[in-house]
Amino acid sequence: MRVKRMSLKGDNQMIVLSGTIGAGKTSLTTLLAGHLNAPAFYESVDDNQILPLFYKDPKKYAFLLQIYFLNKRLDSIKEASNNKYSVMDRSIFEDSLLFHLNADLGRSTDIEVQTYDSLLENMLQQIPNSKFQKTPDLLIYISVSFDTMLKRIKKRGRSYEQIDNDASLYDYYHELNQRYRSWYEKYDLSPKIEIDGDKYDFVTNEKAQKAVIKLLDEKIKEVLG
């Protein structure tokens, strides 16, 4: 893809991607980081030993999985803060959405929910006079239809994510996709922009990639200068 690279101004500018499973966060992170000549930070998935266990036994591993992700997410934010600018493929502010969905499905206890919420609140508190930034300068939300979500999940082929192997995942994915819409509408911690992942298939289509980059360039110029 040949597009003119854009440079961000200022110090420690952090752009964060958000969206449901299969939305294309990793693809857009790679694309945008390359365009901005910025370091990319990815969610720990392929090397995550807990994730396959969670899909086999959600009640046993839901709490442990979210603690793992929360810890890794904070590590990534700390590392990103050492760079002039960065692009991250998952927001720490989505973790509560994911864990509370599992809680509502009976996959965690009340004490686990209370412990998790208290830990997250403490982790997100900003230390006075600290340069360690936890809130992004811009949040990019990739919205996709439920059908697109399912197609992407099937295409990437992780066995433990497949509905064919576990029919209960259908309802889980459907509820997750719906909750993301509500989460994004309520999100107000930073400037934000929504990218329609159905309209712009930036994962495979070069024309769509250029269109999305143009939209993001305009938004970045608006909020980051």
Mean pLDDT (the chain, rounded): 88
| pTM score above 0.85 | yes
Range of the domain at 34: 13-224
Distance of CA 46 to the CA centre of its chain: 15
Direct distance between the N- and C-terminal alpha carbons of the chain, in angstroms, rounded to an integer:
24
> Does residue 39 sit within a domain?
yes
Exposure b/e, 1-24, CB count within 10 A at least 16 = b: eeeeeeebeeeebbbbbbbbbbbb
Residue 11 has what pLDDT?
A: 62
Specify binding-site residues for ATP. 19-27, 152-156
> Does residue 8 sit within a domain?
no
Q: Letter for the amino acid at 42?
A: Y
Q: What CATH number has the domain bearing residue 29?
A: 3.40.50.300
CB 184 within 8 A of CB 212: no
> Does residue 4 sit within a domain?
no
Residue 3 has what pLDDT?
A: 39
> Does residue 62 sit within a domain?
yes
> Does residue 54 sit within a domain?
yes
% of the chain with per-residue pLDDT over 70: 91
- CA–CA distance, 22 with 93 (Å, rounded to integer): 18
pLDDT in tens, 87-132: 999 888 888 898 999 999 999 999 999 999 999 888 887 655 556 6
Token couple for 94 = 């989505």
- Structural domain total, the chain: 1
Looking at residue 88, the DSSP 8-state letter turns out to be E
> Does residue 202 sit within a domain?
yes
Residue 131 has what pLDDT?
A: 61
Residue 129 has what pLDDT?
A: 55
> Does residue 111 sit within a domain?
yes
* Active-site residue, 217 included: no
Residues of the chain with pLDDT under 70: 1-11, 126-132, 225
Which one of 89, 104, 171, 198 is the catalytic residue?
89
> Does residue 6 sit within a domain?
no
Specify binding-site residues for substrate. 43, 55, 66, 90, 95, 161
DSSP annotation string for 10-52: SSSEEEEEE-STTS-HHHHHHHHHHHHT--EE--S-TT-SHHH
